Amino acid sequence: MYFSRFNYLSAYEKDDQRLLMNFLSQSCDIVDSESASHFSEKKGITPEEKKYALQRGYVFQDESDESMLLQKLYHHELQKKKTLPVIQLDRSHGKEVKEQVKKIQTHHDQFILLSEHLLDTPLQGDHWDTAPIPHIITGEENLPVFDSFLARHAVSGLSVIVSLTDSAGITGESESRLDSLMEQGTPVEIIVRIQEDTEIDALTSLMNYFIYKGWPFLEHFTCTLEPWPNKGCLFGRWYGTPHLAHLIYEEYAAHPQTEFCSMHNWVGVNPIHSIIWTGKVSPPSFYFCDASRGLTVLKDNYEIPCPYMDTEEMENTPDCQRCTYVLICGGGCPLPSRSKKEDRCPPVKELLETSLEFYFDEFLQRIAFHEQYYGGMQ
């Protein structure tokens, strides 16, 4: 009998109960201390436990059975690869942007216009024959630059980066632009960059601001919290600290409406968030970011797989291949310039435990419900 290397047994326990998860099979169960010891020590499992554990993917007859599932996952992800062009805008965008769009139209059915920095010149999109229409990712201060797209609702989606302040974080002019898009059914994401030990209280006013508009408005709206500075990126998973996550969970507890501002992209938080909202551990993946899935960034006159690359090459992470967390972490950012080797691994276990401490009571209720009616959470 072989115990899966993707089993995770929580250190956090309550009333002699702990959480057992498997990051490959997406299984999740509450176990008592005796069963927990069988999995932690990898011995002493009873015939009844073995039968159940085989069904749930916690154990296999031998290691080759798990390797076969990993191969299937690897090939499945290869088949899902799809080129996603990104046009990275700089301060002085011009005719070259229009030429890049023409190239994209020939081969692709979607693309992204990206700018995380302040732009000077409005982007004239009203005369573009843009089919398909772009998804725009930019800072709130740049929204006027894209007015020719926004006024005609010529966007497939909009992701707006804002910094959390004591105000709602959205200015009056931006509010009218966002309202108009969402009234037309265009998906809008607010990416809130939140720093350690600051601005947490402002989440309440931010969320109240959107809830005040009503559920028809929220139907096309999502709010995502991005730890800042972030060792991940907009196209991958995000690194937050356990302390910052704990502060946000305290805000969730004090003001439940703020939980709509999600941490689902954070490495270590993502499996627990997924269980709460979908009933399953987050889907396993070998990839940290879209740069590995087919991202193509058009920058000036050349193409690169990542908007944060300069001259560096992607690094392989052979040490990650035997790690318990590789399917929820993806091996970390492969750019040497963004993540040093000594701190490349995010605090996955610490974030898992921080999340469990906040959600454990809810787990007990949900898992009891699913076991009663559906035979467990999977």
Do 15 and 29 form a contact (C-beta atoms < 8 A)?
A: no
pLDDT on residue 129: 60
Predicted confidence at residue 284, as pLDDT, reads: 92
pLDDT of residue 318 exceeding 60: no
Choose the weakest-confidence range: 16-30, 149-163, 286-300: 286-300
pLDDT at 329: 86
- Global pTM? 0.86
pLDDT of 90: 75
**DSSP 8-class letter at 16:** T
**Residue 166: band (very low, low, confident or very high) from pLDDT cuts 50, 70, 90:** very low
25-29, 45-49, 54-58, 92-96, range with the lowest pLDDT: 92-96
DSSP-derived 3-state class of residue 164: coil
pLDDT at position 172 is 75
- On the question of pLDDT at 170 being above 80, the answer is no
What is the pLDDT, as a whole number, of residue 306? Answer: 83
CA distance 261 to 71: 35
Question: Does position 303 have pLDDT exceeding 80, yes or no?
Answer: no
Q: For all residues of the chain together, what is the average pLDDT? A: 81
Q: Which helix (H) or strand (E) holds 222?
A: strand 221-228
